[in-house]
Copies of this chain bind each other. A is one copy, B any other.
Amino acid sequence: MQQIKVPFAHYKVPTQKEDSYVTGLKLANSLKGSELVPFIPINGRQVNFYYCGPTVYSNSHLGHARTYLGIDVIRRTLRDYFNYDLLSVMNITDIDDKIIVGANAAKQDFLEFTKVWEKDFFDAMQALNIELPDVITRVSDYVPEIVTFIQKIISNGYAYESNGSVYFDVQKYISDGHTYPKMRPEVNAELLQEGEGESQINKQSEKKSPYDFALWKASKPEEPKWLSPWGQGRPGWHIECSVMASAILGNPIDLHAGGIDLLFPHHDNSLAQAEACFNCEQWINYFIHLGHLNIADRKMSKSLKNFMTIEEVLKRYTPRQVRLNFAIHQYDAPQNYSEEQMEQAIAKDKSYQEFFQNTKIYLRESKVTDPQKWTQFDFQLSTLLRSTKQIIHQALINNFDFPTVVDATDKLINQINIQISNKNIRAPLLNSAVNYVNFIFGLLGINYLTPFSNQSDIHQLMGEVCNLRDKVKVAAKNNDFETILNLVTLKQFQYEKNISNLIVDAINQFQSEVLLASQNKNKQQVFQICDKLRDQSLFDLGIKIEDKDKDQPSVWKQYDILDLKLEKEQQLNLLQQKELLKKKEEIEKLEKAKLSPKEFFSQQIDKYSEFDETGLPIKDKDGNELSKKQKKVVQELWEKQNKLYNSFLQQQQQ
């Protein structure tokens, strides 16, 4: 009797060689039952990485967002943190049953049809700031390679032609000592048992065994077709990844990733095909899977009306907010998307935004000639910065544990915020800490510093604008209109190249309006114009002026315009929801007030069984008399309801 294998016994950790690049990184490897396995690439720092791309037949949805955001963060981390030399390949499945159905329905050529949805996918990826892979492989480009690959599997004895199609011979593969499916030990055990009996060709089917899967499908009419040694047909789904990954990255491959929903059968079959073709033991060294995404506790599906396209999501949230929402969850754990979660992400995003804004102001106002001797606070912060770096390093080598990374970053940010408001931190140290936090956000594909890059011109201009506006307000308070006239007419702003034309317009308008208002000696109008500059004209261009307490000069912050716009909308949404809730409560209250005390209690048959003539309960639902205490309670309730009812009646009469 054949021995049933120990689960995952097939897996071998790659050998560490002298020139191996060892970072300490460990990955949850599905080839070892999600066990954490030290990551050792085959050649030095080089990592060959393949991940499954989309089947392009419909809108890109939130499930895609989770998968490809997760992979994007992993890619950035491998490259930018661990300094691996990454070569990454993603396929586009443009031959598939669903595509054929969709193209026929749309009366389009299938490649015309897939081009539309491929573009939709890449547009969504770009909107989410997800980097392109180094190599994009479309199945329709690789049919000749697929045919050759299948021929090799047949000649190795692990596939057979049947009725114009070609199937993988699972039992033959197993009986030769291969493991299938590698990542599903329970199915493997079953198959090994079955192998003891005699294999029979299922007369009802083209397949020798129900476990056999198609490598090549004979095409039906109206289906795309390619010539092959087995007649006109098209590739099966699983074969594409084996072929295209090998075509670019060879054998073996360091790293393979995809959504957990693809683990079986797709990934297991891809593995079996490649190992059957190359007659090798381990085509992929590390197989990682992105966790499943539920929407409000249910599987996302169009029928459940919780299917959300990326386009829709990005109408409500900024790409950064969406990225943050996924980043604060472990990539390989299941995640449940909900509005509440997004609100958390929005709050986090806002706190990070303000962190960078406030440090920017602090650094802007600091000079290198300031006192630089470290105090205890600098020493403390330096120690915290270093321990944070250590925690984050440990978290990253621990299977990209970004929840811990975000948590440690939050603690560092909180401490910096305190020291900034107490003004007890040296600018060069703060600058280092800010750059480190920015680097960590960079791994998440998030950049809070960008709006400031290459805009040194605006610093001086905005400083001067704030200064002028502060002085105008002080003068207006003192009814000193002559000073305002002087201030505004004498101030000639210098507009450098990097200043937006719209900002110039806003400032010009501010100046001429203030001029007019002060000529009219209209104090209130001067204040209104100052407010307008803050709340409207500059705000709409992404610049927020923040007025401080009396004696303090105002400060300015620059944001992405999209951010500010969405922030406004999100605040409006929250307000609307609150109002809706309030209205609902009012309606319920009104419904309740319509009941006389008698009706009020008689409806509560789950609590009481007998009432007196006024409707007051005297026995509970089991027929027992109410206790003295209970009687007191219902008496109070009766009176409360009576009062409510009477006021309702009065309202009705008015």
List residues of chain A with CB under 8 Å of any chain B CB. 44-46, 81-83, 85, 87, 115, 118-119, 122, 132-138, 141-142, 248, 368-369, 371-374, 378, 382, 386, 389-390, 393, 426, 428-429, 431-432, 450-451, 453-454, 495, 497-504, 541-542, 561
Chain A facing B: main interface SS: mixed
| A/B interface sample: 30 pairs, CB < 8 A | A45-B389, A45-B393, A46-B386, A81-B83, A83-B83, A85-B389, A87-B382, A118-B368, A119-B368, A119-B369, A122-B369, A132-B368, A134-B382, A134-B432, A135-B426, A135-B429, A136-B426, A137-B372, A138-B372, A141-B373, A142-B373, A248-B374, A450-B453, A450-B454, A454-B454, A497-B502, A497-B503, A497-B541, A499-B501, A501-B503
A85 to B383 alpha-carbon distance, docked (Å)? 12
| A542 adjacent to B497 (CB under 8 Å) | yes
B-side contacts of A46, CB under 8 Å: 386
Separation in Å of the A463 CB from the closest CB of chain B?
18
* Neighbouring B residues of A142 by C-beta, 8 Å: 373
A518 to chain B, nearest CB (A): 26
Given contacts A429-B135, A431-B132, A453-B454, contact A369 B118 (CB under 8 A): yes
Q: Chain B contacts of A495 at CB under 8 A?
A: 501-502
A527 to B501 CA separation, bound complex (whole angstroms): 28
Q: How distant is the Cα of A118 from the Cα of B368 in the complex, in angstroms?
A: 9
Once bound together, how far apart are the Cα atoms of A390 and B382, in whole Å?
A: 34
Closest to A439 in B: B80
Contacts of A137 in B (CB 8 A): 372-373
Contact A497 B454 (CB under 8 A): no
Judge whether A499 and B500 touch: CB under 8 Å: yes
| With A373-B137, A501-B500: A386-B454 Cβ-Cβ less than 8 Å | no
Set of chain B residues within 8 Å of A499, measured between Cβ atoms: 500-501
Q: Which residues of B contact A386 (CB under 8 A)?
A: 46, 85, 87
- Contact among B119, B141, B426, B561 for A497, CB-based, below 8 A: B561
Is B372 touching A141 in the complex (CB atoms < 8 A)? Answer: yes
Q: Which residues of B contact A541 (CB under 8 A)?
A: 497
Expressed in whole angstroms, the Cα–Cα distance for A50 and B501 within the complex equals 46
Structural contact, A368 and B122, CB atoms closer than 8 A: yes
How many Å lie between the Cα of A541 and that of B457 in the bound state?
14
Distance, CA A454 to CA B500, complexed state (A) = 13
One of B135, B426, B498, B502 near A372 (C-beta < 8 A): B135
Which of A373, A451, A498 has the most B CB atoms < 10 Å from its CB?
Answer: A373
In the assembled complex, which residues on chain B have CB atoms less than 8 Å from the CB atom of A504?
Answer: 501
Which residue of chain B has its CB nearest to the CB of A145?
B373
**Beta-carbon contact of A428 and B132 below 8 Å:** yes
Name which residue of chain B comes closest to A561, CB basis. Answer: B497
Which one of B135, B136, B393 contacts A368 once the chains associate, using CB atoms below 8 Å?
B136
How far is B385's CA from A134's CA once the two chains are assembled, in angstroms? 12
Contact A500 B498 (CB under 8 A): yes
Please give, as numbers and ranges, the residues of chain B lying within 8 Å of A378 by CB-CB distance. 135
Q: Which 7 pairs show the lowest CB-CB distances between chains A and B?
A: A501-B501, A136-B372, A141-B373, A122-B368, A132-B428, A501-B504, A134-B432
Supplied contacts A135-B378, A137-B372, A501-B501, 19 more A-B pairs, CB within 8 Å: A45-B393, A81-B83, A85-B390, A87-B386, A118-B368, A134-B428, A134-B432, A135-B372, A135-B426, A136-B368, A136-B372, A248-B374, A495-B501, A497-B500, A497-B502, A497-B541, A497-B542, A497-B561, A499-B501
CA distance A453 to B449 in the complex (A): 12
Closest B residue to A393 using CB positions: B45
Q: Which residues of B contact A122 (CB under 8 A)?
A: 368-369
